Structure 1
Amino acid sequence: MSINYKINEYLDEYIKLWPFSGAILVVNNGQVIFNKSYGMASIEHGAANTTKTKYKIASLTKQITCMAIMILKEKGLLNVYDSLKKFFPDYPELDERITIHHLMTHTSGLCSEFSVVDPYLMLGKRLYTHAEVFDLFKDMPLEFEPGEGWSYCYFGYYLLGVIIERISGKSYIEFLKDNIFKPLGMNNTGLDDYIEILPNKASGYYVSSENLVCSEIDTMSVFSAGAIYSTIEDMLLWDKSLCCEKLVSKETMNEIFTPYKEYYGYGWVIDKKNNRKRVHHSGGGSGFSHQFHRYIDDKVTILVLSNYGFSNSLNINENIAKIVFDEECCIPSKPIKFDLDLNVYDSYVGIYQKEDFKLEVKRDEDKLYFIQSNKWVMPIFPISESTFHHTWIDQEYTFEKNIKGEVYFVGIKKRTN
C-alpha cells in the first residue's frame, strides 16, 4: 500500500469527523508524493480551494523575512550582531544593546504583547504607517534584558522589515520579489494588500457556536512579521530552495537552522520529533491555520495550509509524518464523552483574563461552553474531569489547579472577583 494511499485514507477519515478546508503537500526525497486541496476558498462565492489558491501564510512570513536579512548579510550590507542604533538613529528610545540576531531569535526583550499596545486590535482594522507602529511600541519597557530571555515578538520582526527597506533602498516587498520570489519562480506570492483585487485569494474563517464566521482582521499592518500570501505551488518552490544554495550559501543555511533560546533559529523552530531532526513553524490568525514541517535529514517536507482558523493543522501534520515514516498512526476518532459531575464543572465557571484577552466559562443547564473575547462561543463536552473537547472541531481544552487551589484554563488564571 503506497504512502499516498495511506495519507489519503487517513485524511478521508479525518474529514468525516472534523471540518477542514485548505491544502496539504508532502514531499519525500525531492518528489511530491501527496498534493491535494480540500473545501472552499470562498464559501460566499462557491469557489473551491485549488493548488493555485492564495492563502495568507501569517507567521510563515518570518522565515522569508529572515532569508532576506541573510541575503543582505551575504552582500556585506549588514551583520546579524549589528545594533539597532545603526539602522534607527532617529529612534533613540530603542535599546542600543538589541541586535538583528536578537530580533530574529525573539530574544530582544521588546514588548511582545499586542493587547498592551493595541487593546482594540486596530492594527488589524486599518493600514498603519511605520511611524504609527513605532509610536505604539517604542516607549514600552523591555520585558527582559536583551539576550537573557525569550518571547515571541511581533514588533521585532516588524523592525526587520524596516531594516530591509532602509538598507536596500527598496520597499520590503520589492526586495523580496527581486531577491527571492522572482529567482525562485514564486509568481503567486506577495504582500497581502487588502485594497488589491487578488484572483484566487482565500477567505479566512473562524467558528462561533455552531456557525462558521468570516475573519474581520486584515494582516497588512503585520508587515514583515506575517503579511505574505502564497500558494501551495509556490511554497513547494520555497521548500526546494532550502535544500540547496539557490539563495544563500550552505554556511548561511546552517546559521539559519541553528537553534538558540527555546530551540528557535532564524524564523524557524529547530527540534526533534520521534528522534528525527525537524525544522518547522506555524502560521495562524485572521482565519488561517498553517504548519510547515521539514525533516531535513530525512528529506521530507509536510505542509498544511488551512483557511479554517480553528483547524488542528499541527495534529494533521504530525500524523501524516507518522504515516510517511511508517510509524503507528491512530485512525481518526471522536473522544468518548465523560460522565462528569456538573458540580465539578461549576467550579470552573467564571472569567479567565490575561490583560485584554478574556475567556468566560459558562453553563446553561447541560450545555457547556466558553466565550472568547466576548464574542466567540465554543461549545464543549467533557472527556475527563478536567479536559474538555470542542463539540465539532478537533480541539481540546484543559483546566488545571495549582497547590493553592487556584484554577487555570488554557494557562490563564481564573478571576476571583
Structure 2
Amino acid sequence: MKYLLIPIVFTCLLVSSCTRTSIKENPRIKQLDTLMTYSHDHGMFNGSIAILQNNTIIFKQSYGFTNNNTTQKINTETLFYIASISKQFTAMAIMILQERGLLNYDDTISKYLPELKSIHKDVNIKNLLQHTSGISDRTYYQLTNPNNQDVFEKLKSLEDSSIGNPNQRFSYSNTGYVLLAFIIEKVSKTTIQDFFQKEIFDKLDMSRTTTYKEKFTSDLNKAYPYNILGLKSTYSSSVIGPGGIYSTVTDLIQWNTAINNNKLVTENTKKLAFTNGSIEGKPISFKLGKNEFGYGFGWSPFSKYNDHYVRHDGSTEGYRALIRKNLSKNTDIILLTNHGGAFAMDEIVDKLDQILETQTYTPPKIPLTNQIMNILNTKDIDAVVTMLTSTLNQDNKPDERVLGRLGYTMQNNGKINDAIALYKVNLDLYPTSINALYVLGEAYLSEKKYKLAKEIYNRFLEVQPDSEYAIEKLKLINGGLNKNNQ
C-alpha cells in the first residue's frame, strides 16, 4: 500500500535559486548541494536551508514542495511555522526590556502578574527563561487549541502556590514562555504581536515574518505540514511566546545576522543569553538523543569537538526548524522543513559539519523510520516486516521508541493493521518491554481481537505480576470473549 506518491522530476526543479553553474564551480557548495539533494531524494528533508560563515551566506537553497498535491516548489521566501525557535524572540524581547531598565531578570512573576496566585511566590523571570521554574506543562497540554488567554485563565483558576518549585531541576516549560509573553505585554503596554513586529521584525526587515495565523493561512507561498506518513497534519495552538511565529529562511538569516552584530541588544546581554544556567551551583544539563545540552535565554549551549555552539530547534508533527551557531568558527546553520517527522536532523547536520570542516562528503545514514516509509511508498507492510526481521536482531536493535512511535502515528491515522505489524516486530525485539506489550495489547483490543489481546496481557502479568492495569484488561477481554467467542 502506497502512503505517498511524489512525482519524479529533475533535481534542478526541486531546488530554488537553481544556479547550477555556481554550484559546479565551488567544490564545497557542490558537496552541500549533493548532500541536501540526497537527503531530499531519500525522504529525509523537504524545505529550506541556509549556511553562513562570518555573516556571509555561503549556501542558501530550497528542496521539494510546499504542497504535495499541487507540487508547488518551496523557495527561500516560503513561510514555515518555526515552533519553539519562537522562544528566541520571546527571550530577546525580555532582554530588550531589561536593557531599557523596565524589568530585571530576578523580578518575581507576582510583581507583574499578581492575579496568578497559583504560581510559586519565588518563581522569577530568569527561571522562566531557563526552564528552572518548576512549572510543568500538564495544564498547558490539557487545553484544546489554546491561546495565551486560555492558558492564563486556567492558571488563574488553580489553587494558591500549587505550581512551580523553582531552582530544583530543569523542566522544559512552554507554559513558562506564555507567562513571559504576558510580562512583555504588561511592561511594554502593547500586545506581544505588536512588540515583535515593531521592535524586532520591522527593525530587521523581516518582512515575511508574522505571528498572525490568519496571515499565514492566506499566504500563497506557505508550506503545508506533513507527518511521517506523508499525510497532511494540523497545528491548532495559537499560543505566542513558546511558539507562534511563522518565518522564512531569508528572514531568519536577517535574525541570525542581527544577533551576531548585536543590533538589538549589547554583546554582554547576548553573551548572557548564550551562557548556560545553573541549579544549586551545578550547570543545567539535559539530553537530546546522544547529545548533552544546557540552557540560557532561548538558546541551548553545548560543546562538540572542542568547539562551542548554541542552538534551538522547534518541532510539531508537520513542521521542524533548527538554528545552530558554531561560536568558535562563526558558522551558522538554518533549516526549515514542512515534513517534520521525516526530517533526519542529526544525520544531516553531522554531514554538513563534515563538509564544512573537511570539504568531503559521505552519504548520511538513512534513519529506520525513513527506510520504512521509503519501502511503504512503493510496496506494503509485509515488505517492511521482511526488511525488519532480516536486518534487526537482539544485537542490532533500534531504540525501542522508534517502531513504537511510527506504529502509533499509523494507528492514529487509521492504519491499524500496519501499526500492529510494527508493534509485533518491536515486541520480538523487546519481549519484556511494558510499553511494547501495552501498545500491542491496546491495538488488539481496539480491533476486538480478544484472544490475541489476552495472550499479550498474560505476558504483561509475567513481566509485572501485580499490574492492576493488565488484570482489569483481562477481565474486560474475558467478557468480550464470552460475548463474541473471538
Give the TM-score taking structure 2 as reference length: 0.69
Q: 2:259 aligns with which of 242, 264, 273?
A: 242
For residues 169-318 of structure 1, the aligned pairs below 5 Å read 169-194=189-214, 197-208=218-229, 212-220=230-238, 222-260=239-277, 261-262=284-285, 263-310=294-341, 311-318=343-350
The answer to whether the 8 A contact 1:109-1:142 is kept is no
Q: How much has 1:313 moved relative to structure 2?
A: 2.4
Percent of residue pairs identical: 26
Deviation at 1:42, TM superposition (A): 2.2
Q: State the secondary structure of the residue aligned to 2:76.
A: coil
Q: Which residue of 1 aligns with 2:147?
A: 128
Deviations 1:361-399 (A, max 9, x none): 59xxxxxx722494045969x9xxx998xxxxxxxx997
**1:191 is paired with a residue of what secondary structure?**
coil
| Partner AA of 2:235 in structure 1 | I
Q: Does 1:152 align with 2:172?
A: yes
| Structure 1: runs of 5+ lacking an equivalent | 353-358, 363-368, 389-396
Contact 2:129 2:297 in 1 (8 A): yes
Partner SS for 1:122: coil
Change in Cα spacing, 1:30 to 1:408, as seen in structure 2 (3 Å) is same
CA pair 40-338 structure 1, distance change in 2 beyond 3 A:
closer
Shift in Å, 1:265: 0.5
Q: Which runs of 4+ in 1 moved over 4 A?
A: 140-144, 333-344, 359-362, 376-380, 397-401, 405-409, 412-415
Which is strand-richer, 1 or 2? 1
**Preserved CA contact (<8 Å) 2:276 2:295:** yes
| C-alpha distance in structure 2 between counterparts of 1:142 and 1:240, whole Å | 42
Letter in 2 for 1:303: I
Query: Which residue among 41, 44, 63 is the counterpart of 2:69?
Result: 44
> 1:122 is aligned with what amino acid?
T
Identify the residue that residue 484 of structure 2 maps to in structure 1.
none
Helix, strand or coil: the match of 2:407?
strand
More helix by share: 2
What amino acid maps onto 1:61 in structure 2?
Answer: S
Instruction: Figure out how many residues of one structure are paired with residues of the other and give that number.
Output: 374
**Structure 1: distance between partners of 2:440 and 2:407:** 15
Answer whether contact 1:3 1:33 (CA < 8 A) is retained.
no
Q: Contact (CA 8 Å) 1:290, 1:313: kept in 2 or not?
A: no
Q: Secondary structure at the match of 1:136?
A: helix
State the shift of 1:88 in Å: 0.7
- 8 Å CA contact retained: 1:407, 1:413: no
Instruction: Write the mapping of 1:315-354 to structure 2, written as runs, cut at 5 A.
Output: 315-326=347-358, 330-334=362-366, 337=387, 339=389
- Any residues of structure 2 matched to 1:79-118 within 5 Å, and which? 79-113=104-138, 118=141
Cα distance in 2 between the residues matched to 1:143 and 1:399: 40
Of residues 59-68 and 320-329 in structure 1, the stretch that sits farther from structure 2 once superposed is: 320-329
Question: In 2, are the aligned partners of 1:319 and 1:329 still within 8 Å (CA)?
Answer: yes
1:112, distance to aligned residue in structure 2 (A)? 2.1
Distance 1:46 1:10, change over 3 A: closer
Judge conservation of contact 1:66–1:266 (CA < 8 Å) in 2: yes
Q: Which has the larger radius of gyration?
A: 2
RMSD between aligned residues: 3.6
Note the C-alpha offset of 1:181.
1.2
- Map of 1:394 onto structure 2: none
